[in-house]
Amino acid sequence: MNRFSVSRCGAFAALAPWLMCGLAVLADEPKPIDPAAEKKLLQRGTLLSPKAFRAAAKKVLPSLVTIEGFGGLAAGSGQTKGIHAPGEGPTTGLVISSDGYIVTSTFNFIRKPPIITVRLPSGERKVARMLGRDETRRICLLKVEGANGLVVPEMAPRDELAVGQWAVALGIGYGDSEAALTAGIISATSRIGTKAVQTDANLSPANYGGPLVDLDGRVIGICVPLSPAGQQEGAGSEWYDSGIGFAVPLTGIDKVIAAMKEGKTLQKAFLGVQSKPTGTPPSGASIVSVVPDSPAAKAGLVKDDKLLALGGTEIMDVTHLSSVIARYVAGDQVELTYQRGEEKKTITVELAVAPPPPPPMKPMPVPMPMPPKDPEKKPEDKPGENPAEKPAERPSEKPTEPKKDPQPTPPEKTPQAI
């Protein structure tokens, strides 16, 4: 039928136990529910949900700011080939401190405007200073001076998020002082190296930098374009309004916020090993080669060492290793456990920035896509993976351009160094 049948039904179904739970709380002992009455309850809940969307939006609106850039590259230009370039309109940011720290998405500055202003909820416009950025989360921090008493929104604890729960997104990128509201559900609570939550609420450049909130108006995360494979600035924005959207939670990343306050740029982490799986079922990743001068080389890792754990997480296989590395940023110090012969050792490595890719003249090793995490591809079933955590396979009703696979499957024998 349409997107409703694929995904939103999930939310209605998810409401059912809550409604029942509500009844159970009222009665002293659980009573059997008449199926017809249950159906009606569900219908009423469904028809009432817009009230909940508006109530949630109302709570976070006082923390939304409008960001405007002056100068910089013209719309549609810049390093945005194949990616949806930002338009000419304003973008959204979220207040995170009463004295003027504002989180937004790096997407909003792809055109590199030298001057940035922020319009506060009071309507007052201020000049904003760009501080640091986290390129892996596509968020950045702005600061306006002389602001006080700004409203800081409540954050939703990450462990309370559940697949199927309602999520409401707000953004002011259409240029109106009022925010546009889109609604959907949480499709996955952990994506892109645990850094993002996935939602089927339509997200687009009108949202990037704005919040995704739960029905209590608490911030689930900042809406950003992300893509499991694409590292290019703005990658993921080609999925705008498709039902595959990402929001980066701000809880539990105090270190990242602190680094951004200091003006640091956080980049993708690199260990510097090429590895292959070992054992059946695979356990650990066996090193095929070590990139010279990489963190792995500096830590003394050599060929045939078997990586067993990183930062306390047991490594299942090669793909898992890359997704565990993706949880960190360059500069993070991580405990690494490996096995050489019979001996097990735990050392600390400092992850670094990946070296620039080799010049494109030679036949170059193409970046390895991570198949189980790429919603464009059929994910292979991994043992122990919760099927509910998979991206909703809802086809976009927008006619998509014939998909050119930008990353042809690399030859079997040339694993990408990670």
Partner 1 sequence: MKLHPNNVIAAIGALLCLVAAPLWAEEDPLSPDGAFAEAIQNAQRRTVKIYGAGIGRSPAYASGILVSSTGDVLTGNGVYLGADNLRITLPDGTTHPATVVRRSQTLQVAHLKIEANTPDFFEIPVKPAAGKGDWILAVSNAFKVADRAEPLSVNIGVLSLRTQLDARRGVNDFPYEGDVYFYDAITSNPGAAGGAVVSTEGKLVGMIGRVIESKSTNTRLNYAVPADTLTKFMSGEETAPMVAETPSTGAKGELGIRLFNLGGRKSPAYIDRILPGSAAAKAGLKTDDMVVSIGGEIVRNSGDFNRLTDTLKAGVETTIEVKRKNDLLTIKLTPAEAK
Q: Which of residues 75-104 bind partner 1 (CB under 8 A)?
A: 75-76, 84-90
The answer to whether the beta carbons of residues 135 and 106 sit under 8 Å apart is: yes
233 binds partner 1 (CB under 8 A): no
Stretch binding partner 1 (CB under 8 A), from 178-186, 258-266, 330-338, 345-353? 178-186
The distance of Cα 126 from the centroid of its chain, to the nearest Å, equals 29
In the complex, minimum distance from the CB of residue 83 to partner 1, in angstroms, rounded to a whole number: 10
Of 30 and 355, which CB lies nearer to partner 1 in the complex structure? 30
Rounded distance between C-alpha atoms, residue 256 and residue 122, angstroms: 28
> Least separation, in Å, of the C-beta of 227 and partner 1?
17
The SS3 of residue 107 is helix
Shortest spacing between CB 142 and partner 1, in angstroms: 13
* DSSP conformation class of 246: E
CB of 262 to partner 1, least distance (A): 19
Tell whether residue 230 is a contact of partner 1 (CB under 8 A).
no
N-terminal to C-terminal alpha carbon distance within the chain: 42
| Measured distance CA(53)–CA(13) in Å, rounded | 17
- Please, what is the minimum distance in Å from the beta carbon of residue 135 to partner 1? 21
Answer for the pair 241, 171: CB distance below 8 angstroms, yes or no: no
Nearest residue (CB) to partner 1, 8 versus 306 = 8
Instruction: Give the whole-angstrom CA distance, residue 114 versus residue 153.
Output: 28
Closest approach of Cβ 84 to partner 1, in Å?
6
Which of the stretches 169-177, 299-307, 335-343, 400-408 binds partner 1 when contact is defined by CB under 8 A?
Answer: 169-177
Residues facing residue 191 across a β-bridge: 196
Would you call 239 exposed, middle or buried from its count of C-beta atoms within 10 A (0-12, 13-18, 19+)?
buried
Instruction: Pick the closest to residue 198 from 178, 220, 172 (CA basis).
Output: 220
Binding-site string for partner 1 from residue 104 to residue 133, where x marks contact by CB under 8 A and - marks none: ----------xx-x-------xxx-x----
User: What is residue 4's DSSP assignment?
Assistant: I
- Rounded to a whole number of angstroms, the minimum distance from the CB of residue 370 to partner 1 is 27
- Contact string 380-399 vs partner 1 (x = CB under 8 A): ----------------xxxx
Stretch that binds partner 1, among 165-173, 339-347, 353-361, 380-388 (CB under 8 A): 165-173
Q: Which is nearer to partner 1, 84 or 191 (CB)?
A: 84
Among 183, 188, 271, 417, binds partner 1 (CB under 8 A): 183
Site string for partner 1, 135-164 (x = CB under 8 A): ----------x--------------x-x--
Q: 308 near 284, Cβ under 8 Å?
A: yes
Which has the closest alpha carbon to 187: 388, 395, 398, 397? 388
Q: Rounded to 5 degrees, what angle do the CA atoms 285, 363, 232 make? A: 70
How many residues at the interface with partner 1, by CB under 8 A? 86
| Near partner 1 in 26-85, by CB under 8 A | 26, 37, 40-55, 57, 68-71, 74-76, 84-85
Q: Considering only residues 151, 152, 180, 297, which one is a binding residue for partner 1 as defined by CB under 8 A?
A: 180
Please pick, from the candidates 173, 221, 277, 295, the single residue that binds partner 1 as defined by CB under 8 A: 173
Q: Is the peptide bond before 281 cis (omega within 30 degrees of 0)?
A: yes
Beta carbon nearer to partner 1, 206 or 315 = 206
Q: DSSP labels for 265-329?
A: EE-BEE--EEEEE-TTTT-SEEEEEE-TTSHHHHTT--TT-EEEEETTEEP-SHHHHHHHHTTSB
Of 245-284, binders to partner 1 (CB under 8 A) are: none
User: Which of these, 170, 243, 172, 176, lies nearest to 213 by C-alpha position?
Assistant: 170
> At its nearest, how many Å lie between partner 1 and the CB of residue 337?
34
Structure tokens belonging to residue 161: 């998020």
The correct pick among 78, 99, 174, 339 for binding partner 1 (CB under 8 A) is 174
**Shortest separation between residue 333's beta carbon and partner 1, angstroms:** 35
**Cα(162)–Cα(348) distance, rounded to whole angstroms?**
34
Q: Give me the least distance between CB of 156 and partner 1, in Å please.
A: 8
